[in-house]
Amino acid sequence: MSIAFIILLLPLVAAASILLGIRKKANLSAYVSVASAGICFLLTLGLIRGSGGEAGAFTWLSVGGLELKIALEITGLTRGMILVVTLVGLLVHIFSLGYMRDDAGKARYFAGLSLFMFSMSGIVLADNFAMMFIFWELVGVSSYLLIGHWFQKNSAAEASKKAFLVNRIGDFGFMAGILLLWGATGEIGFSALRETLEVQTFDPSLLNWAMICIFCGAVGKSAQVPLHVWLPDAMEGPTPVSALIHAATMVAAGVFMLTKVTFLIIAAPVAASVIQHVGALTALLAALMATQQSDIKKILAYSTLSQLGYMVMAVGFAGFLHSGEAVGAVASNAGFFHLYTHAFFKALLFLGAGAVIYACHHEQDIWKMGGLIRLMPVTAITFLIGTAALAGLPPLSGFWSKDAVMAVTQNSTPLLIVGAITAFLTAFYMSRLCTIVFFGKARSQAAREAGEVPLMMRAPLVILALGAVIAGFEFAYGWFIAPADLPHPHGALPLVLTIIGVAGIVTGYLLHRGREKDPIRVEVLVRKFYIDEFYLFLVRVFQDGVAYLAKAVDQLLIDGLIVRGSARLTVGVGLLLRGLQGGNLQRHVFLFGVGIVIVIYLITIALG
Amino acid sequence: MMPSLNEYLMVSGLLFAIGFAGVLMRRNIIIIFMCLEMMLSAANLSLVAFWRFGNGQGMPAQGYDAQVLVFFVIAVAAAEVAVGLAIIVALFRARCTVHVEDLNSMKG
């Protein structure tokens, strides 16, 4: 059995043994889960040094011409992604030991985390669409379980349900796309598909539709507009979960999958254009929404949406025709590079937010915090490093990856402008967050009493901060993407981006310094463009419409026609026949006589 | 002059019609009962008449089938009278009336 298979299965073993065996012993369960994550990380270090290729394939299902294989494919992207998953996963496990120390559902929580690690590794290592889809659904399940960890809280239960349902919408498209592609080419393996597409030519409109359907899966999982509504609500889950699943790994699965099928995006230019524009729209709208939120986790959630939009936009450019030739893998590499760096600094920001929330006794409203830099310096400084990386300040990792993404968008001026505005907004809202939370005066008792978090929670912050600083340098990513395969910005783009980032930070600081509430309040942004309300309205219209229809069918057809109708028929016929029963003997005799006359007439004259 | 079959049948039809009209129109159930007997007699008369002119040349038919049948009808009618009158007596005891329009408990 290869290393990759052990990385895949070890978390499953941990999850199963916790759920089936040692569930009652919360601390032991937690250590088992952390140990499995740790071993997976060490094995990953071994895996990414080894050679690539496929590992341990066996046929899972064979129906007619279709063979579904459980096989692992290890490419450059896979190595980068599996490192992110296991490293961030391990740090989040360790952080959780502190964060969830006194939680009643600790064993269940760690079982969920291990199940997630198993599912996510499956997505990363899958070598075909069918296997990826299975694990795709499994991460959905583990995400559902972890968002709803505090299911006693109604909002958490609702949020987990919403996340699952919205993801199902996207996954339906994903499955349809896989089937379309399989129907057209007869292949579902990634490498087999790539080879087939190189050799044969297919109907471009078919490929476009297949790619758009597959993209639906990414829209759901990576929370792009219009299916982004689940991610902010998913913040109801424990904060380490938000860091791992809803910032660094699972939501990036959509981008990872798109990167993996870059060859398909190149073959489907219309779909590529759709992907670019959906990504750009998400990046801009989410950044706008983030500027007006007051829940620390919601701000980070919208920021995640916005950055995912960046990645999706970049990957979409793979199919963009630049003077007759597709931009190609360079673009998707840029998207993946941003995914890689983003995983570090966004996980850092979420864990930092978790530390702040922990220190403030589960207070999440930034307007009740303040001045925390004096009370918890390690958290604050690492958080500020994450902020600077997210804002794209050189020489932090975010600067390099954002440069790569923006270099790709230089192919299309409108999207370049959207990207630049988003970059400014990103710096602005992060600066707003930091100014309010870490500087100024404490605004509540909880913030005054806050103290530095324990070492078990500080250590992951420091390690991730280190990652956020160095992940953009060549030695940190060169082993899975050759620097030559990344786009290079033309002209003064890096300088302009730096100026935009600094401008955003300064504006955010000056506007919010010493304030008690937002100086500018834009209702439409606070209400998130009324998209949730719109969906509620749609649900109400359609659900109520269907309900009315069902009610009409029930009342008119079933009750009215079938049940009461048969009763009425009986009564009516009875009424008719009742007239004949006059109770008068002589009338009966008369009718009898008439009947005999008719019979005689028929026998003798009509028939005779 | 010897009456022919037609005359007999005419009388028989007349008897039957009178009986039937009585059954239809009279209110007293005993009268209706008598009218029923009259209709039976009409049938008997036509049976005997058919026998008398039954051989094809205006002479009686062979055998006595018709007479036997008539006797049979008379015997059954006698039995029927016995049962019928008993029912009427019982009915009168129960309902204190012999008028058919009052006996309408079967009205739907």
- Read off the pLDDT of residues B18-61 as tens digits, 9 standing for 90 and up: 999 999 999 899 999 999 999 999 999 999 999 998 887 888 88
- pLDDT higher than threshold 80 for residue A52: no
Average pLDDT over residues A5-24: 90
Enumerate long-range contacts of A589-592, CB under 8 Å, 24 or more apart.
A589/B23, A589/B24, A590/B24
Q: Which two tokens stand for residue A548?
A: 């009315």
DSSP state of A454: P
User: Cβ contacts of residue A277 below 8 Å, gap of 6+?
Assistant: A313, A316, A415
Give ∠ CA A155-A156-A157 in degrees, rounded to 5: 95
Residue A505: its pLDDT value, please?
A: 93
Report the sign of the C-alpha dihedral through residues A237, A287, A419, A402, in that order: negative
DSSP string, A25-47: -HHHHHHHHHHHHHHHHHHHHHH
The amino acid occupying position A82 is I
Q: From CA A157, how far away is CA A145, in angstroms rounded?
A: 9
DSSP state of A368: G
- pLDDT higher than threshold 70 for residue A51: no
CB B106 to CB A581 under 8 A? yes
Q: Are A22 and A32 in contact (CB under 8 A)?
A: yes
Q: From CA A117, how far away is CA A139, in angstroms rounded?
A: 8
B interface test, pick of A586, A590, A591, A594 with most B CB neighbours within 10 Å: A586
Average pLDDT over residues A46-60: 73
Q: From CA A604, how far away is CA A608, in angstroms rounded?
A: 5
B107 within domain boundaries: no
Give ∠ CA A419-A425-A430 in degrees, rounded to 5: 130
- Read off the pLDDT of residues A333-357 as tens digits, 9 standing for 90 and up: 999 999 999 999 999 999 999 999 9
The residue count for chain B: 108
Q: Which residue of B has its CA nearest to A590?
A: B24
- Read off the pLDDT of residues A62-73 as tens digits, 9 standing for 90 and up: 887 778 888 888
ipTM above 0.90, yes or no: no
> Which one, of A367, A359, A332, lies nearest residue A443 by Cα?
A367
The DSSP element (H or E) to which A536 belongs, if any, is helix A531-552
For residue B85, give its domain range. Answer: 5-102
Average pLDDT over residues A314-338: 87
Q: From CA A121, how far away is CA A136, in angstroms rounded?
A: 10
- pLDDT higher than threshold 90 for residue A124: yes
Average pLDDT over residues A490-509: 90
- Read off the pLDDT of residues A351-400 as tens digits, 9 standing for 90 and up: 999 999 999 888 889 988 888 888 899 999 999 999 999 999 888 999 99
Average pLDDT over residues A548-570: 92
Domain count, chain B: 1
Beta bridge pairs of residue A61: A68
Residue A432: its pLDDT value, please?
A: 93
Residue B60: its pLDDT value, please?
A: 87
CB B106 to CB A583 under 8 A? yes
Name every residue in B having a CB less than 8 A away from some CB of A. Answer: 20, 23-25, 100-101, 103-108
Q: From CA A239, how far away is CA A400, in angstroms rounded?
A: 27
Question: Pick from A582, A583, A589: which is nearest to B24 by CB?
Answer: A589
Residue A286: its pLDDT value, please?
A: 94
The pLDDT confidence band at residue A18, using thresholds 50, 70 and 90, is very high
- Rounded to a whole number, what is the distance in Å from the CA of A546 to chain B's nearest CA? 47
Residue A1: its pLDDT value, please?
A: 53
Q: From CA A218, how far away is CA A252, in angstroms rounded?
A: 9
B14 within domain boundaries: yes
SS3 A146: helix
- Write out chain A residues lying below 8 Å of B21, CB-based: none
Residue A74 phi, psi (nearest 5): -120, 110
The DSSP element (H or E) to which A156 belongs, if any, is helix A154-185
Residue A72 phi, psi (nearest 5): -110, 135
CB A586 to CB B100 under 8 A? yes
- Write out chain B residues lying below 8 Å of A589, CB-based: 23-24
Question: Pick from A578, A585, A590: which is nearest to B100 by CB?
Answer: A585
- pLDDT higher than threshold 90 for residue A586: no
Q: Are B22 and B38 in contact (CB under 8 A)?
A: yes
Residue B85: CATH number of its domain? 1.10.287.3510
User: Exposed, middle or buried by CB within 10 Å (0-12, 13-18, 19+), for A169?
Assistant: middle
DSSP string, A206-257: HHHHHHHHHHHHHHHHTT-TTSTTHHHHGGGS-HHHHHIIIIISHHHHHHHH
- Read off the pLDDT of residues A81-91 as tens digits, 9 standing for 90 and up: 999 999 999 99
Q: From CA A34, how far away is CA A314, in angstroms rounded?
A: 35
CB neighbour burial string for A98-127, b if at least 16 within 10 angstroms, e if fewer: bbbeebebbbbbbbbbbbbbbbbbbbbbbb
Q: From CA A474, how far away is CA B24, in angstroms rounded?
A: 120
> Which one, of A30, A25, A24, A28, lies nearest residue A100 by Cα?
A30
Q: From CA A205, how far away is CA B89, in angstroms rounded?
A: 99
B33 within domain boundaries: yes
Per mean pLDDT, which range of A11-15, A181-185, A189-193, B104-108 is the poorest? B104-108
Percent share of chain A, pLDDT over 70: 99
Report the sign of the C-alpha dihedral through residues A378, A379, A383, A384, in that order: negative
B108 within domain boundaries: no
- Write out chain B residues lying below 8 Å of A590, CB-based: 24
B72 within domain boundaries: yes
The pLDDT confidence band at residue A53, using thresholds 50, 70 and 90, is low
> Which one, of A345, A386, A89, A364, lies nearest residue A236 by Cα?
A364
Q: Which residue has 């809202």 as its token pair?
A: A429
Q: From CA A321, how far away is CA A122, in angstroms rounded?
A: 33
Q: Are strands A321-322 and A66-74 parallel, antiparallel or unpaired?
A: unpaired
- ω into residue A395 within 30 of 0, thus cis? yes
Q: Are A423 and A287 in contact (CB under 8 A)?
A: no
Around A34, how many Cα atoms within 13 Å sit in the side-chain half-sphere?
18
CB B103 to CB A585 under 8 A? yes
Beta bridge pairs of residue A498: none
Question: Pick from A577, A582, A586: which is nearest to B107 by CB?
Answer: A582
- pLDDT higher than threshold 70 for residue B16: yes
